[in-house]
Structure 1
Amino acid sequence: MDFGNEFNGKRVVITGAAGVMGRALTRTFAQVGADVCATDRSTDGLHGFCVAADLTTDTGLAHLLDDVATAWGAPDIVVNNAAIYPSSFLLDMEVADWDQIMAVNVRAPFALMRGFALQMIGREIAGNFVNISSGAARKMRRTAVTYCMSKTALDRMTKGFALELAEYGIRVNCVEPGFASGSAVSALSQEHIDRVMAAIPLGSETKSEDIGQAVLYLASSAAKNITGTSLAVDGGNSAGAMDVYQGKKSAL
């Protein structure tokens, strides 16, 4: 999609910017002319306006909000991308692990949406929030129950903020990426990849560029009448199951 000059000079905050998805989102917005504030616990390897902040702490959250306020007054767009995805059965999980997941995946987006929204309102900016959720918000997965719960909470929080910020012209949406075949950080077996891919209607995994284009769309004027929605970018995986149990396995 050609967005023309729409994002030229727009001030965009991207959390979790040091990760694979975060780096891709940072490039996506930079390529359309936006000014990006990239933030993560460590900003090693990041360029431009960067803020090192631990979003699990009140100090880290305040540091990010204050740095953006000092530099810009307020952002135009905020992409809540930071998240963690530890794998553990509930019976093996410590309460501290639960708290960590919720701190990154739920508490931090709440604090940042609240804080940045107040900045936007103070400067009468009809801004945008795009939260990176997951298909896990729609379906529980063994060994990832807490992650699934955190993303379901993020989806509901997106709708809640959309309702309460609408009067200020601020839109809030989320993107739900589908299956990606792992990375050096989260390696997956080929058997698992093949099984999951066979169940995706379009037979394709979700690439970083797919998410980038979806985020740009939701943050653009083309989506000016869209708020409180969850956009699944998952090859149709959330639409239903591809399994066929009858004897006839294909049409025609």
Structure 2
Amino acid sequence: MTKPNPLPGSDFTGKKVIVTGAAGVFGRWICEAFDAAGATLLLSDRDEAATAELATTLSRPALTHRTELTDAGSIDDLVATVGREWGAADILVNNAAVYPSGFLLDVDAAEWDRIFDINLRAPFLLTRGIATQMVRQQVRGNIVMISSGASRKMRTTAAPYSISKSALDRLTKGFAVELAEYGIRCNAVEPGFAAGSKASPLSEAHVKATTAAIPLGRASRYEDATASILFLASDLASYVTGATLSVDGGNSAGTILVHQDKKKAL
């Protein structure tokens, strides 16, 4: 069943959009949202089968690319594919990331490098390459980074992830400042918690505990973060760049203590 446009009235007809981590939970939602708004997509993911399946569900033909984000050569090939097929994209959504679990004392150098390669180096390399094409083709494009409330609130067993997202927020501002003269905007969205990641699978107990701690009392839905991503990539946000928007049910503002004694509101 085709998903609805999460930002009614937005029109991305004729716009060319790249989404990394397209086959994941958020990636799929982002692709479906842009598809519903009329965009043409390039689906980037390391899972070829899942990416191909996603392409069959979209309203119009999509490009696909098997991208290994720990490999700079694979990222270069993705950029080259965009240049060959489109000349330049209009929108890049750096969505792909990993969320491994482990205490800092147990994280070895190879795992640290893998986390930062995917969560930080890859968005840098891909944004650099895609933005260069935008500049050359005089496309006033948009970059949207998918960050996390973890960038501002450290989490035990997820410190490397939190640190990588903090750095991604600074990278967003760096690109926003330096690309502004070309009419290219760069912003970030912090989506709420949603279970189901293949790259970083979570236990049922973890999912239940995390959801219970969210102030608004539920996990993220399709229409939540996707509407904000479409907004930031649209002309409605033409004066917004270097911003980070939290769409997480209040989770980055604070958490509910599940076992606390309830007090009457009145």
- Superposed pair shares fold, TM > 0.5: yes
Aligned to 2:9: 3
CA distance in 2, matches of 1:90, 1:35: 41
Is 2:189 the counterpart of 1:159? Answer: no
TM-score, normalization by structure 2: 0.87
Q: Is this contact kept in 2: 1:182–1:188, CA < 8 A?
A: no
CA distance in 2, matches of 1:177, 1:244: 22
SS, match of residue 49 in structure 2: coil
Report the residue type matching 2:17 in the other structure: V
Pairwise CA distance, 1:182: 4.7
Aligned to 1:30: 35
Is 2:238 the counterpart of 1:238? Answer: no
Aligned to 1:187: 202
Pairwise CA distance, 1:111: 0.6
Q: For residues 140-193 of structure 1, what are the alpha-carbon distances to aligned partners after superposition, in whole Å with 9 as ceiling and x for unaligned?
A: 111111011111111111011111111111110111012224567623334x44
Is 2:113 the counterpart of 1:99? Answer: yes
**Superposition pairs for residues 111-190 of structure 1, below 5 Å?**
111-182=125-196, 186-190=201-205
Is 2:13 the counterpart of 1:13? Answer: no
- Taking a change above 3 Å as real, the CA distance of residues 67 and 199 of structure 1, as seen in their structure-2 partners, is same
Pairwise CA distance, 1:196: 3.5
Report the residue type matching 1:99 in the other structure: D
CA distance in 2, matches of 1:65, 1:246: 50
CA distance in 2, matches of 1:53, 1:79: 14
CA distance in 2, matches of 1:11, 1:244: 44
Q: Is this contact kept in 1: 2:214–2:250, CA < 8 A?
A: yes
Q: 1:70 aligns with which of 67, 84, 88?
A: 84
Aligned to 2:3: none
Q: Is this contact kept in 2: 1:181–1:188, CA < 8 A?
A: no
Pairwise CA distance, 1:12: 0.2
SS, match of residue 166 in structure 1: helix
Aligned to 1:88: 102
SS, match of residue 238 in structure 1: coil
Q: Is this contact kept in 1: 2:192–2:225, CA < 8 A?
A: no
Q: Is this contact kept in 2: 1:176–1:234, CA < 8 A?
A: yes
Report the residue type matching 1:217 in the other structure: F
Aligned to 1:250: 264
SS, match of residue 235 in structure 1: coil
Unaligned residue ranges in structure 2 (runs of 5+) = 1-6, 56-61
Q: 1:40 aligns with which of 45, 50, 53?
A: 45
Aligned to 2:231: 217
Report the residue type matching 2:27 in the other structure: G
- Taking a change above 3 Å as real, the CA distance of residues 241 and 163 of structure 1, as seen in their structure-2 partners, is same
Q: CA RMSD in A?
A: 2.1
CA distance in 2, matches of 1:54, 1:201: 36
CA distance in 2, matches of 1:132, 1:166: 19
Q: Is this contact kept in 1: 2:25–2:194, CA < 8 A?
A: no
How many corresponding residue pairs?
Answer: 250
CA distance in 1, matches of 2:213, 2:102: 24
CA distance in 1, matches of 2:218, 2:261: 26
Pairwise CA distance, 1:16: 0.8
Q: Is this contact kept in 1: 2:213–2:258, CA < 8 A?
A: no
CA distance in 2, matches of 1:193, 1:97: 23
